[in-house]
């Protein structure tokens, strides 16, 4: 059975109204939400984002204080012995793979971009250890370029519970959110979701719904 154009348009309008309510609620609750990773350059943000996989931002920020003091540029990170780099980032978890990616990424930056972090998705994604999420983080927060919504576990969980998305696939979620949200909201939306996920819409099956601004219209998908 083929869904009519009229029904598709009605559904789209309903989704966009819901997205608008979510944006307004999150903006009111977290007006100053920003990237929680500390960085002074696009390179530092790129490295910190690679380190943040399966690790808290707080832990990453503690590790990068010494890391960036000792290896502030791409050339130094590219040249550092792998074992030494592994020890420097050991507490972030999966340190062998992260160290390998960081070193290889910085080597490629030196070879192809004179040590500078590129400003396009097409150039960032092929770098070792970099996917769409990391590229979106760097472009949005280091360069102010709204390339797409950053999709992490908080964004996936919250947008699923709100009924904005039904997929668990990060690429499909990003595509859907890019369609639903105005481009000017793409960068801040993920920061606000992250804050909301840490404070209210926690990962447990019993989030703090009574404290949520969106409790009146949230369908609470998959929430007991």
**Can you read off the two tokens belonging to residue 64?**
């990068």
Please confirm, yes or no, whether 133 is among the known catalytic residues: yes
Q: 173 near 183, Cβ under 8 Å?
A: no
* Separation CA 69–CA 72 (nearest Å): 6
Helices (H), the chain: 5-29, 42-51, 57-70, 74-79, 82-89, 95-113, 121-124, 132-142, 153-162, 170-180, 186-199
Number of other CB atoms surrounding residue 132 within 10 Å: 17
Residue from 98, 103, 133, 176 carrying the catalytic annotation: 133
Contact 141, 190 (CB under 8 A): no
Counting other chains too, the contacts that 13-17 makes at CB distance below 8 Å and 24 or more residues apart are 15/164, 15/180, 16/180
Q: Which two tokens stand for residue 19?
A: 């997205």
Identify the active-site residue in 152, 184, 188, 224: 152
Does the annotation count 152 as an active-site position?
yes
Can you point out the beta strands (E) in the chain? none
Q: Distance of alpha carbon 55 from its chain centroid, rounded?
A: 13
Query: Which sequence positions are flagged as catalytic?
Result: 133, 152
């Amino acid at each position: 059975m083929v869904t009519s154009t009229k029904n598709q348009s009605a559904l789209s309008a309903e989704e966009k109204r819901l997205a608008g309510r979510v944006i307004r609620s999150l903006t009111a609750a977290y007006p100053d939400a920003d990237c929680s990773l500390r960085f002074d350059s696009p390179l530092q943000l790129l490295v910190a984002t690679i380190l943040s996989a399966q690790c808290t931002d707080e832990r990453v920020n503690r590790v990068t204080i010494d890391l960036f003091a000792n290896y502030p540029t791409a050339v130094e990170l590219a040249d550092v012995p792998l074992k030494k780099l592994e020890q420097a980032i050991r507490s972030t978890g999966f340190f062998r793979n992260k160290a390998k990616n960081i070193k290889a990424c910085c080597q490629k930056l030196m070879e192809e971009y004179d040590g500078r972090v590129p400003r396009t998705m097409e150039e960032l994604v092929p770098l070792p250890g970099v996917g769409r999420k990391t590229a979106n983080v760097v472009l949005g927060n280091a360069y102010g370029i709204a390339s797409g919504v950053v999709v992490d576990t908080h964004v996936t969980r919250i947008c699923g519970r709100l009924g904005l998305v039904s997929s668990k696939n990060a690429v499909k979620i990003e595509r859907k959110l890019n369609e639903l949200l105005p481009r000017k909201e793409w960068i801040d939306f993920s920061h606000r979701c992250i804050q909301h996920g840490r404070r209210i819409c926690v990962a447990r099956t019993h989030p703090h719904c009574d404290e949520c601004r969106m409790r009146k219209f949230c369908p609470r998908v998959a929430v007991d």
